[in-house]
């Protein structure tokens, strides 16, 4: 580790139930040169990938809809979230991971994806780096109904929306998922559907 203002890091495992929750204690050097003791918890669920599937000819995107318990217990009345396709690496290379997730969740088989950026999604408490991709689909690439991997207890609905409508859905609150908003705004800023 390269930050000379951090020293004496100690890690304590708090939970290893679903993923890993650790408590870190460390000393941080303030601007005045003094050292202060700090404590943070970090949830490690691994790194993941997300993709916006676009059809430029039709002007549409593929999104998914599924139940998300953390949102349900924090004010999302039905717990359902509209999102881009995403998943954790599970030992895969990011590109391989997202292609596999696309087929499992949406039923589309795509051969090419383009990485557009990466981001820490919640750096105050979660270690995950999310890799963001764009992919292009056509109706002929649909090989199954999708819906998610049965062994992962996923119950995913596959949705197709006009791209312009998804921008309205951000504004009116139908889309509240950060990774989805980021990819849709990236598509808007770069003019993917203006080509």
Mean pLDDT (the chain, rounded): 94
| Cα distance between residue 161 and residue 187, in whole Å | 14
Query: Which tens digits make up the pLDDT trace of 15-40?
Result: 999 899 999 999 999 999 999 999 99
| Cα distance between residue 12 and residue 21, in whole Å | 9
Three-state SS at 70: helix
| Cα distance between residue 64 and residue 156, in whole Å | 6
Query: Which tens digits make up the pLDDT trace of 166-193?
Result: 999 999 999 999 999 999 999 999 999 9
> Structure pTM?
0.92
């Amino acid at each position: 580790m390269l930050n000379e203002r951090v020293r004496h890091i100690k890690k304590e495992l708090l939970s290893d139930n679903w993923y890993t929750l650790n408590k870190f204690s460390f000393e941080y050097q303030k601007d005045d040169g003094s050292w202060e003791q700090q404590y943070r918890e970090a949830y490690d669920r691994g790194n993941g990938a997300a993709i916006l599937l676009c059809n430029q000819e039709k002007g549409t995107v593929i999104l998914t809809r599924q139940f998300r318990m953390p949102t349900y217990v924090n004010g999302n009345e039905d717990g359902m979230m509209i999102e881009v396709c995403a998943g954790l690496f599970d030992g895969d290379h990011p590109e391989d991971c997202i292609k596999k997730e696309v087929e499992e969740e949406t039923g589309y088989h795509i051969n090419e994806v383009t990485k557009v950026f990466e981001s820490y999604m919640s750096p105050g408490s979660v270690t995950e780096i999310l890799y963001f991709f764009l992919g292009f689909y056509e109706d002929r690439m649909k090989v199954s109904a999708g819906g998610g991997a049965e062994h992962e207890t996923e119950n995913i609905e596959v949705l197709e929306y006009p791209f312009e409508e998804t921008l309205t859905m951000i504004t009116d609150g139908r889309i509240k998922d950060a990774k989805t908003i980021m990819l849709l705004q990236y598509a808007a800023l770069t003019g993917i559907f203006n080509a």
